[in-house]
Amino acid sequence: MAIAVIVAGGLGVRAGTSPADPPKQYRRIGADTVLARAVAPFLSNPRIAAVQVVIREGHDEVYAASVAPHARLLPPVNGGERRQDSVRAGLEAVATLEPEEVLVHDAARPFVGPALIDRVLQALEQHPGAIPVVPVADTVKRVSADGLVEATVERADLRAAQTPQGFRYDAIRAAHARAAVSGIDFTDDAAIAEWAGIDVACVPGDPANRKLTTWGDFDLAEAMVERLGTFEYRTGSGFDVHRFGDGDHVVLCSVRIPHSHGLLGHSDADVGLHALTDALLGAIADGDIGSHFPPSEPRWRGADSAQFLRHAAELVAGRGGAIVHADVTLMCETPKIGPHRDAMRARIAEILGIGIGRVAVKATTSEGLGFTGRREGIAAQATATVRLPESGQ
C-alpha cells in the first residue's frame, strides 16, 4: 500500500508581489489551484491508498478553499519551517496507516502526470528509493563569489531531480527522524536517503513536471493549461444483442459467470464488451466492431472480446485521445449481474488502462417483456466519453 505526501508548507514569496498575495500553491491556473492540480493525479491513481497534504500553520482556510474533499484525501497536517520538517510531519501523520511505500511530492509541481507516478511506483518494486530525473539541458558553470566563471561542469552525468520521490516508508521515515537531529539542511528527500545509505534509482522524469517558482513560471503554466484546454469531448454509444444457446456459462464484461445457458456468437459473445467497443469506436467515428473484426474471419472464432475493446482503446490513444468514462448497461432476467458488477468494472478498467472510478456497469431486467424478458438472450448498451485534441473536423 502506497501513500502520497504532498508538501505545501512553503510561503511561496518568490512568486508573489506582496505578502498579501496567496502563497503560490493556492494560486489558480485556469479553473484550479496549483495545489488541487498537484493532488488530483495521486487521488485518481488506484495504487495510492491515501493522500496527505502538509500545509503551513494558519493556512487551513485557504487550503479548504483550494482543494475539494475526497474520500482518500486525509485532513491536512501542519508542517515546519523547512521543507524537510514538513515532509517529516507528513510521514509521521500517516504512520498509523502503516504504508509500505510513500511518494513525496512538491505542491508547486502541478503538472505531474499519471505515467510519471506509475514509473516511480514501479521502480519502488525493485529499489528502496526511486526519483524522476531529467537531463540538464543548459551548460552548467561553476561561478566564483565575484561573478566570474571558474569552470564548466561536465553535464553528461548530471540530472535534475523532480518529485514525486518514492521510498519504502519505514526506511525514509527513520532517515528523516535521524536527519531532523543531524543539524544538516537537505534540499530533497533523495538527499536524505543518500545520506542515510538508501539506494535511490532514477526513472525518466517529465519536462512538463516543472516546479513553479517565479511569475514567469505562472505565465507559462497558464499558457500550458490554455493549450491543454484545446481539447474536445466526444461521446459514443453502442448496442449489442446475443442469443442464449447451449452452454454452462456466459462471459459478460470479460467476467465468466456460470449459467444454465451460454451465449451464441462468433467470438466469446461478450455482449457487454461488444457494446462498449462500439461506443468507443462511435466516439472517434471509426466504423464499428464488425468493420474492425469481421465475423467472416475465422481467426475471431471464440475470440476473447477483451482484444476488441483493447484495440478500440488503442485507436483512441493513437489519436492523442484519452478515455474519460465508460458506462455499460446489461439487460437480462438472468444471470444476476449485481454480484459480478465490481469484477466487471475492474476488468474493463484494466483493459482500457483507466481508473475504476471511470467505469460504470449497470443492469436491468425488462420486466418479463420482449426477448430479454422471455430469456431468449441478453442485450447491452454502452456509452463512452473520450477527450481528443481539437481537430476542427
User: Is 308 a binder of Mg ion (CB under 5 A)?
Assistant: no
Q: Restricting to residues 159-198, which ones interact with Mg ion according to CB under 5 A?
A: none
> Of 96-104, 248-256, 268-276, 368-376, which part binds Mg ion (CB under 5 A)?
268-276
Nearest residue (CB) to Mg ion, 142 versus 299: 299
Contact 235, 384 (CB under 8 A): yes
Q: Report d(CA 326, CA 318) in Å as an integer.
A: 18
- Nearer to Mg ion (CB atom), residue 101 or residue 240: 240
User: Of 101, 240, 268, 327, which one interacts with Mg ion (CB under 5 A)?
Assistant: 240
* Closest approach of Mg ion to the CB of residue 243, in Å: 10
Closer to Mg ion by CB, 189 or 270: give it. Answer: 270
Query: Is 263 among the residues that bind Mg ion (CB under 5 A)?
Result: no
Q: What is the distance between the alpha carbons of residues 35 and 46, in angstroms, rounded to a whole number?
A: 20
Q: Residues 155-190, buried b or exposed e (16+ Cβ, 10 A)?
A: eeeeeebbbbbbbbbebbbebbeebeeeeeebebbb
Among 45-53, 77-85, 239-247, 330-338, which window interacts with Mg ion (CB under 5 A)? Answer: 239-247
CB of 223 to Mg ion, least distance (A): 45
Instruction: Identify which range of 2-10, 240-248, 314-322, 379-387 contacts Mg ion by CB under 5 A.
Output: 240-248
Q: How far apart are CA 352 and CA 369, in angstroms?
A: 34
Nearer to Mg ion, 169 or 308 (CB): 308
Q: Which of 380, 388, 357, 363 has the alpha carbon at shortest distance from 305?
A: 380
To Mg ion, the closest distance from the beta carbon of 379 in angstroms equals 10
* Cell matching residue 125: 518494486
Residues 350-369: x where in contact with Mg ion by CB under 5 A, - otherwise, as a string: --------------------
Strand stretches in 43-125, DSSP E: 48-55, 77-78, 101-106
Is there a contact between 159 and 56 (Cβ–Cβ < 8 Å)?
A: no
> What does the CA dihedral 352, 5, 84, 14 come to, rounded to 10 degrees?
70
Nearest in space to 196 (alpha carbons), one of 209, 186, 207: 186
Smallest separation, CB 242 to Mg ion (Å): 6
- Pick 123 or 378: Cβ nearer Mg ion: 378
| Cβ 308 to Mg ion shortest distance, Å | 9
Q: Does 274 bind Mg ion (CB under 5 A)?
A: yes
Q: How far is the CB of 330 from Mg ion (least distance, A)?
A: 13
Residue with Cβ nearer Mg ion (63 or 244): 244
Q: Is 118 exposed, middle or buried (0-12, 13-18, 19+ CB in 10 A)?
A: middle
**Total residues in contact with Mg ion, by rule CB under 5 A:** 2
The residue type at 146: D
Site for Mg ion contains 268 (CB under 5 A): no
Give me the numbers of helices (H) and strands (E) for the chain, helices first please.
12, 19
The site for Mg ion (CB under 5 A) is made up of 240, 274
